[in-house]
């Protein structure tokens, strides 16, 4: 019996034989062509076929994982029409007289490197998407394809890597688990695995010799066990039965009110990063969206997203949530979330630097564009606006003045919008200490415990060397949260938590007793939190 550790993507346990999937690599040779324009036409034919295939995959994915998650493949189609991507391919073919396969592969390699070297983990994960669309085009040019019909019985699929399109093409009834050497938690492959309820481990030192060996994939512990002993299998079976029982109990929480035995109500909301995440929020019975990280619209774009692009995204979330509250955080770029086209200066200490509301208050046109989109979207649901990284009353008042100016502009243009709640993130020690004054200016607080812990403890949460010092249960952190709750309630506003501590079951009762009105967490934590809260006296 051997055990290997990886990054878990979905908390589930399965047992079965391993199928080692060895991809047929597209061997691309550089060839000299005589007619560049004819070669470009050849590429364009393959490009059209690739888009057609992606449309078919999209339709299949809608049935498997829902429309919002399936939109990944619409994004892939858009990437195949990206001007920068195409210009690079066409330029290479025309200037170097190379074949379409080579130009496509080389361009994808350059884009892959560019994404991989970005500081932001989400953008790093997009490198896999570039590779996926390029492989599809090259396969068409070479008259090849990926066929998963060889998987005829339930297996744990082991591979060096899997593309999103490969993941969704599988028959999920035949896939007990996915284990790969490469991959990231933010990749579309990971997102699809979660949506398909398949336990997946990334970063495992896989071996071809495992093929046909019995294995256990444990998404709870992040372990793959090869040739498990009878004793271990017995323990796994007990754990699986407990898992099924817990799943049944949690499913019984659907539709129930999140209320303690003594009658204290706590709202359970979901944190999302993009429009497609709404499906998971609804699936897990979220009462609303407590944090929509709008910066992902900027991180995923090659230039500043337009007002219309932002409006369509916010509108879709508001509409899909069917009138439930949707709290959208304004742009939080900076620190660990860098965007090239913002042209931000390199800083010695970016976590304390030019970021979030500071950028918005300095770049009024940028801020107004987002606020216009948010207000327009408010006509289609219940939208609330939240400002991040606040340290002073003056910042809040200035942000509200700009918001009021945008309302006036929309009113003069006879563009509909609703009155929206305005809140702020409490994520700096300064905001905690003046929370009584800040509470007079806004409708709600949302405590961002990730940054608040970082700043209170003077610990860079991006530095792995400090993990042993990092203590989110530190008395200073809990005292700051309690102080914030007290200030909010004394001024008659509600207060929530949207940081990682919100899903920490060890602190749930503490937060409830403090008087926290709302917890906003990753969708998968909602049922467990509801069960926990309903059992608090």
CA dist., res. 196 & res. 175, Å (int): 10
Q: What is the CATH number of domain 2-23+147-233?
A: 3.50.30.10
Question: Which residue is catalytic, options 76, 267, 360, 498?
Answer: 498
Which class is domain 36-141?
A: mainly alpha
Q: What are 259's strand-pairing partners?
A: 265
- On whether the CB atoms of residues 81 and 55 are closer than 8 A, the answer is no
24 Cβ contact partners less than 8 Å away, ≥ 6 residues apart: 144
What pLDDT was estimated at residue 523? 86
Residue 360 annotated in active site? no
Q: What is the pLDDT of residue 252?
A: 80
**How do residues 472-517 score in pLDDT, each as one tens digit?**
899 999 999 999 999 999 999 999 999 889 999 999 999 999 999 9
Q: What is the pLDDT of residue 465?
A: 79
In sequence order, the β-bridge partners of residue 387 are 424
The pLDDT, as a whole number, for residue 462 is: 67
pLDDT digits (tens, 9 = 90+) for 194-238: 767 788 888 888 888 999 899 999 988 889 999 999 999 999 899
Tell me how far the alpha carbon of residue 165 is from its chain's centroid: 18
* pLDDT tens digits, one per residue of 352-364: 887 889 999 999 9
Q: Where along the chain do its domains lie?
A: 2-23+147-233, 36-141, 255-534
User: In the 3-class helix/strand/coil scheme, how is 156-200 assigned residue by residue?
Assistant: EEEECCCCHHHHHHCCHHHEEEEEECCCCCCCHHHHHHHHCCCCE
Structure tokens at 133: 């669309």
pLDDT for 24: 64
User: What does the pLDDT profile of the chain (537 residues) look like in tens digits?
Assistant: 889 988 887 778 889 999 898 776 667 889 999 999 999 999 999 999 999 888 887 887 777 666 656 777 777 888 888 888 899 999 999 999 999 999 999 998 888 888 777 766 656 666 777 888 888 899 889 887 655 666 778 999 898 887 766 776 677 778 898 898 877 655 656 766 776 778 888 888 888 899 989 999 998 888 999 999 999 999 989 988 887 777 776 678 888 899 999 999 999 999 998 787 887 788 788 999 999 999 888 887 788 889 999 999 999 999 989 899 999 999 988 755 667 777 777 777 777 887 889 999 999 999 999 999 999 999 999 999 999 999 999 999 999 999 999 999 999 999 999 999 999 999 999 999 999 999 999 999 999 998 999 999 998 866 767 878 888 899 999 999 999 999 999 999 999 999 889 999 999 999 999 999 999 998 888 988 999 999 998
Q: Are the C-beta atoms of residues 77 and 54 closer than 8 Å to each other?
A: yes
Give the separation between CA 270 and CA 401, rounded to whole angstroms: 29
Among 76, 188, 267, 360, the one annotated catalytic: 188
**Residue pointed to by tokens 């009021």:** 404
At 124 the pLDDT is: 67
Are 398 and 359 spatial neighbours (Cβ–Cβ below 8 Å)?
no
pLDDT of residue 412: 95
Look up 91 and say whether it is catalytic.
Answer: no
Q: Which long-range contacts (CB under 8 A, 24 or more apart) does 462-466 make?
A: 462/336, 462/351
Give pLDDT, residue 311.
Answer: 94
CB atoms within 10 A of CB 495: 24
How would you class 68 by CB atoms within 10 Å of its CB: exposed for 0-12, middle for 13-18, buried for 19 or more?
buried
CATH topology of domain 255-534: TIM Barrel (3.20.20)
Computed over every residue of the chain, the mean pLDDT equals 87
Question: DSSP secondary structure string, 226-286?
Answer: ES--HHHHHHHHHHHHHHHHHHHHHHTTTT---B-TT--B-EEEEEESSGGGHHHHHHTT-
């Amino acid at each position: 019996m051997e055990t290997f550790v990886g990054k878990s993507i979905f908390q589930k346990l399965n047992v079965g034989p391993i199928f080692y999937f060895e991809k047929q690599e597209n061997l691309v040779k550089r060839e000299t062509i005589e007619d560049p324009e004819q070669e470009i036409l050849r590429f364009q034919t393959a490009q059209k076929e690739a888009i057609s295939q992606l449309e078919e995959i999209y339709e299949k994915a809608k049935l498997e994982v829902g429309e919002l998650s399936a939109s990944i493949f619409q994004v892939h189609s858009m990437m195949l029409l990206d001007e920068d991507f195409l210009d690079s391919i066409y330029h290479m073919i025309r200037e170097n007289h190379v074949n379409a396969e080579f130009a496509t592969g080389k361009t994808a390699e350059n884009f892959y490197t560019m994404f991989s070297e970005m500081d932001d983990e989400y953008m790093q994960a997009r490198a896999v998407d570039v590779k996926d669309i390029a492989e599809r085009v090259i396969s068409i040019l070479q008259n090849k394809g990926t066929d998963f019909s060889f998987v005829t019985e339930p297996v744990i699929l082991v591979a060096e890597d899997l593309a999103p399109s490969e993941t969704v093409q599988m028959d999920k009834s035949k896939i007990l688990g996915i284990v790969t050497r490469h991959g990231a938690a933010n990749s579309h492959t990971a997102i699809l695995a979660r949506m398909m309820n398949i336990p997946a481990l990334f970063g495992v030192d896989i071996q071809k010799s495992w093929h046909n060996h019995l294995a256990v994939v444990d998404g709870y512990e992040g372990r793959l066990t090869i040739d498990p002993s009878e004793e271990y299998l017995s323990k796994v079976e007990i754990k699986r039965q407990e898992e099924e029982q817990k799943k049944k109990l949690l499913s019984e929480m659907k539709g129930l009110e999140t209320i303690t035995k003594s009658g204290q109500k706590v709202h359970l909301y979901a944190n999302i990063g993009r429009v497609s995440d709404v499906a998971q929020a609804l699936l897990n019975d979220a009462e609303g969206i407590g944090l929509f990280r709008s910066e992902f619209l900027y991180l995923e774009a090659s230039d500043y997203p337009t007002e219309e692009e932002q409006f369509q995204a916010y509108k879709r979330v508001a509409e899909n949530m069917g009138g439930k509250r949707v709290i959208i955080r304004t742009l939080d770029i900076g620190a660990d979330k860098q965007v090239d086209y913002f042209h931000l200066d390199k800083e010695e200490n970016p976590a304390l630097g030019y970021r979030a509301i500071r950028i918005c208050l300095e770049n009024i046109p940028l801020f107004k564009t987002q606020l216009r989109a948010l207000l327009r979207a408010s006509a289609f649901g219940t939208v609330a606006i939240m400002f991040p990284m606040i340290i002073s009353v003056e910042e809040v008042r200035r942000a509200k003045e700009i918001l009021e100016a945008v309302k006036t502009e929309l009113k003069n243009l006879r563009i509909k919008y609703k009155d929206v709640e305005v809140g702020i993130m409490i994520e700096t020690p300064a905001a905690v200490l003046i929370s009584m004054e800040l509470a007079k200016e806004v409708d709600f607080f949302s405590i961002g415990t990730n940054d608040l812990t970082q700043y209170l403890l003077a610990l860079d949460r991006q530095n792995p060397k400090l993990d042993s010092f990092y203590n989110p249960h530190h008395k200073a952190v809990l005292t700051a949260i309690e102080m914030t709750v007290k200030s909010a309630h004394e001024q008659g506003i509600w207060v929530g938590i949207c940081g990682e501590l919100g899903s920490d079951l060890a602190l749930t009762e503490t937060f409830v007793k403090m008087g926290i009105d709302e917890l906003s967490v990753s969708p998968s934590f909602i049922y467990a939190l509801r069960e926990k809260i309903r059992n608090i006296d």
